[in-house]
Amino acid sequence: MSEGWKTVGETLVDILEANDVEVVFGIPGVHTVELYRGLAASPIRHVTPRHEQGAGFMADGYARVSGKPGVCLVITGPGLTNTITAMAQAYQDSVPMLVISGVNSRTSLGHGRGRLHELPDQRGMMATLALMSHTLLDAGDLPQVMDSAFAIMGSARPGPVHIEIPIDVMSERIAPPALRATIAARPSADRETTTLVAAMCRAANRPVILAGGGAVSAQAGLVTLAESIDAPVVTTVNARGLLAGHPLSVPASPSLKSVRDLIADADLVLAFGTQMGQTDYDMYADGGFPELPNLVRVDIDATQLARGPVAAVPVLSSVSNAVTDLVAELGAETMKGEGIARAARARDRAFSELADKIRCEVGILEQIRDTLPGCIIVGDSTQAVYAGNLYYEAGRPRGWFNAATGYGALGYAPPAAIGAAIAEPSSPVVCLTGDGGFQFSLAEIGSAKDAGANVIYLVWNNDGYQEIESYMVDNGIEPEGVKPSAPDFVKIAEAYGLPAERLSDVRHLPEALRKAVRHKGPSLIEIHERNTAGATA
């Protein structure tokens, strides 16, 4: 054997290091142990969840906060299928996630011989929800395959990528590749298109900007553009905090009538990095989002530009490149109008649309934000999160995200918050989860303890699936199956060694949060909708 050659597992670790991977999430098993060879000597940190779905959600939260791909190592069969839900959430929300799994030996693939963890066609199954799914049949192809994976995640619309490595390939030795980070190539609009859009901006009297999750990395340029053309900026759930506190910010859902009125009145709508999907733009499925004859839509994905509202001018570009080019084309021009006043009216009217209960919940979110400056709130599908998705101004970009959009997976927030805390350990991370959703991934508080993750688990306890129960009642359906019993969350947390308390009054929340932040590592606070004073209007 040639000197200096390494196993596929060892080389994989080297390639991950070269691409600035700092942490991987996974549960080792006999089908992946060879991928762990060399990991202990690497600076890459390994975080062990209690379930592979947790690994995927941790990778998702890490990616959203760090801006880098989240990486998972999982076994073949059940380990990979357990990760599918997290991959689907990442696909819907355009989150870069690299899932590396084992698979049985090459000679067994497709034969159905009853091998441990065998699936009929694992790669074929994963290809339905991954941007790329590849089986590494030749060990020497590893560098090229990994380069393709990072290029796909970095150059186009992000999402999950899957690579499976047969167990007999993992231990093979290959020549050391030239190690380098994969260079992403992000598209830009042609000069003619940029000039056209700039002319449309100059001619507009009432422009509006719609900013989605794809615009988060372009914060500075987007603020400059909005100020230059005097445009209110409506932020979707994944873009909240993009213009935190700015007078042009409209941190309210385009599913609300007042926000739709603002958009419908615009003589130019610029949509940046937003899927324009139902969970943001038509939450109540009433079909009332206005027609946009004056829509300029910027997206990194050509296929996405062909979906949803038809744009008068579709622009294939990353948001960063498009905004940079457009600001340069406009130069130092500043168009003064009624943008700030229009934004203020939209904010006020949007808030007044909300029911008293929702306004109360938004007030609690604002209390968290103001008590913990720079905090990140990671939400599950629970009523307070739905309220924030309707109206809430996060204190910073990447400071508000949840699973109540897109795929809508319950149990997302407890592990995703761990990933967020690992990505940014200096920032307070609050996991806002309901009593029902928390039980989907309750054991991950043990993972938070092991990882020393600074996560405050804020449990919004309303004795079951209250959102679904209310929907049933509103539609004349006798509620059934919406009252799963919950454990004593305080005792559960204490059993894991976490400090925990149940609030008697929401007024005590700021001090409870400050106390939790002073504690290094995870902690838990419970608000009970009926038993905590001030939890409802």
Q: Which two tokens stand for residue 229?
A: 């053309």
Give residues with Cβ within 8 angstroms of 30, minimum separation 6.
Answer: 75
**Residue 419 parent element (H or E):** helix 413-423
Residue 527 CB neighbours (<10 A): 23
Q: What residues does CATH 3.40.50.1220 cover in the chain?
A: 191-350
- Looking at the DSSP bridge assignments, the partners of residue 459 are 433, 526
Give residues with Cβ within 8 angstroms of 490, minimum separation 6.
Answer: 500, 501, 502, 524, 526
- Looking at the DSSP bridge assignments, the partners of residue 430 are 377, 456
Phi, psi of 9, deg, nearest 5: -60, -45
* CATH homologous superfamily of 6-174: Thiamin diphosphate (ThDP)-binding fold, Pyr/PP domains (3.40.50.970)
Pairing of strands 313-316, 500-502: unpaired
pLDDT tens digits, 269-293: 999 999 999 989 999 989 999 999 9
Strand order in the sheet with 97-103: 45-47, 23-26, 70-74, 97-103, 160-166, 132-135
* Rounded-to-10 torsion of CA 291, 295, 298, 302: 60
Residues 260, 502: Cα–Cα separation, whole Å: 39
DSSP 438-462: HTTSTTHHHHHHHHT--EEEEEEE-
pLDDT value, residue 32: 87
* CATH homologous superfamily of 355-528: Thiamin diphosphate (ThDP)-binding fold, Pyr/PP domains (3.40.50.970)
CA atoms within 13 A on the CB side of 372: 27
* Digitized pLDDT (tens) for each residue of the chain, 537 residues in all: 577 899 999 999 999 999 999 999 999 998 888 999 989 889 999 999 999 999 999 999 999 999 999 999 999 989 999 999 999 999 999 999 999 998 877 777 677 777 766 677 888 888 988 999 999 999 999 999 999 999 999 998 999 999 999 999 999 999 999 999 999 889 999 999 999 999 999 999 999 999 999 999 999 999 999 999 999 999 999 999 999 999 999 999 999 999 999 999 999 999 999 999 998 999 998 999 999 999 999 999 999 999 889 999 999 999 999 999 999 999 987 878 899 999 999 999 999 999 999 999 999 999 999 999 999 999 999 999 999 999 999 999 999 999 998 888 999 999 999 999 999 999 999 999 999 999 999 999 999 999 999 999 999 999 888 888 888 898 999 998 988 889 999 999 999 999 999 999 999 999 999 999 999 899 999 999 889 999 987
pLDDT value, residue 484: 87
Residues 392, 416: Cα–Cα separation, whole Å: 20
CB 148 within 8 A of CB 136: no
pTM of the model: 0.95
Taking CA atoms, 187 is separated from 156, 211, 495, 523, in Å, by 8, 18, 51, 43
Taking CA atoms, 368 is separated from 94, 178, 373, 376, 428, in Å, by 27, 48, 8, 10, 10
Residues 52, 124: Cα–Cα separation, whole Å: 20
In a 10 Å sphere around its CB, with 0-12 CB exposed, 13-18 middle and 19+ buried, how is residue 510 labelled?
middle
Phi, psi of 153, deg, nearest 5: -70, -25
How far, in whole angstroms, is CA 400 from its chain's centroid? Answer: 9
pLDDT value, residue 314: 97
Residues 510, 37: Cα–Cα separation, whole Å: 46
* Residue whose structure tokens are 């691409």: 19
pLDDT tens digits, 191-210: 999 999 999 999 999 999 99
Q: What residues does CATH 3.40.50.970 cover in the chain?
A: 6-174, 355-528
The dotted CATH code for 191-350 is: 3.40.50.1220
Residues 329, 220: Cα–Cα separation, whole Å: 16
pLDDT value, residue 106: 72
Give residues with Cβ within 8 angstroms of 115, minimum separation 6.
Answer: 104, 108
